[in-house]
Structure 1
Amino acid sequence: MTVESPAQAVADGQPFSIPTRVYWEDTDAGGVVYHAQYVAFLERARSEWMRSRGQMQEQLRREHDLVFVVRGMQLDFLRPARLDDLLTVTVQVRQVRRASIVFDQAIWRGEDRLLAAQVKIAAVSASAFRPVGLDETLYQEFKLLEVPA
C-alpha cells in the first residue's frame, strides 16, 4: 500500500512507502540486487518521506544551514531482490531527538519482506558539519510521527 502522507500513514498505522523497480544497474554478477544498492533505495524513500512532509532538503540547507547525514545503519538482508522486481520501500519514524531521528525501514516484494533496516540520521550544520538541534517546529512535527517499538 502506498501512502501519500506520513501523517495519514501514522493515523492509519501504516508506514510511508514508495515503489521502485530493480534495473540492470542495481544488480551484481549473481543477478541479484547488489548489497549497497539497498542503501540507495532506503535513501530515496527517506528523501521522498521528507518531501511529502513539505521539507525540501535543499531548502533546509540553504535557508537553515541544516542537512541530515546517516550516523548509523543496521541492515538485515532476508531475501534477494532480482531484476525487474517491483519493490516497496517503507519508512516509519521510530525515535526523534533534538539532533537525530531513528527510522525503521523495510523493502518488500509483495508480501515478502526482503530487508529490514534501522537508520539513524543526525542533523548537522551544512557549513560546519557539526551536530545541531532541530528547530522547535520541525522537532514537534517529526515527534508527532513517532511509532513506538
Structure 2
Amino acid sequence: MTYLNEFIFPVRVYYEDTDAGGVVYHANYLRFMERARTEWLRTLGFEQDTLAQELNAVFVVAGLEIAYRKPARFNDALLVDAKIDTIGRASLLFKQEIWREGRNNSRELLTTASVKVVCVNTGTFRSMTIPTAIRELLQ
C-alpha cells in the first residue's frame, strides 16, 4: 500500500531470517526496513540504479535508532511501514515500524525505528540536494 509519504511493505519471515531459536536475527529487521524504503521509492517511479547513473545520486543511511519490542518468528507475516517524518535539503527522516499480522486483521507492533537517509553524490559521497523530481512528489 502506498501513499506519497508512507509505504507499507509485506514481508514473510523465512527460516534464513532467523537464528537457532527461530527468532528473527536483529540485523534482519534493518534489511526489512531497507526493502520497504527501496520499494517505496520504486512505486514513486525511481529506481536506485537509475538515480545513480542518471543523476549521480544515491541515498545512504546516515543514522538510526531502533527499538525491539517483541520478536518476529519463523513464518510470521509482517508489515513494514516506512513513513517520512521530516524532509531536509539533502535528507529524509523515516519513522519505520514492523507489525505482525494476526487473525481478524489484528496487528502487533514488534519494532520501531527512526532512520535518517542522506542523498549523496556518487562521485564524491558528499551530501547533495535531493533531486527536484523526488522533492516535488514529497512536498
TM-score (norm 2): 0.92
Could you give the per-residue CA deviations for residues 103-128 of structure 1, whole angstroms, max 9, x where no partner exists?
01110002101000110000000111
TM-fit CA distance, 1:79: 0.3
Aligned length: 134
Aligned to 2:73, the other structure's residue is in SS state coil
RMSD: 1.1
Match of 1:20 in 2: 11
TM-fit CA distance, 1:140: 2.6
Residue 80 in 1 paired to residue 77 in 2? no
Match of 1:107 in 2: 98
Structure 2, unmatched stretches of 5+, are: 102-106
Match of 2:123 in 1: 127
Q: What are the within-5 Å matches in structure 2 for residues 1-149 of structure 1?
A: 3=1, 5-7=2-4, 15-110=6-101, 111-142=107-138, 144=139
Identity of aligned residues (%): 42
TM-score (norm 1): 0.86
Give the aligned residue type for 1:23.
Y
Larger fraction in strand: 2
Q: Distance in 2 between matches of 1:28 and 1:37?
A: 10
Give the aligned residue type for 2:115.
V
Give the aligned residue type for 1:121.
V
Q: Distance in 1 between matches of 2:42 and 2:133?
A: 16
TM-fit CA distance, 1:137: 3.1
Match of 1:147 in 2: none
TM-fit CA distance, 1:135: 2.9
Aligned to 1:31, the other structure's residue is in SS state coil
Structure 1, unmatched stretches of 5+, are: 145-149
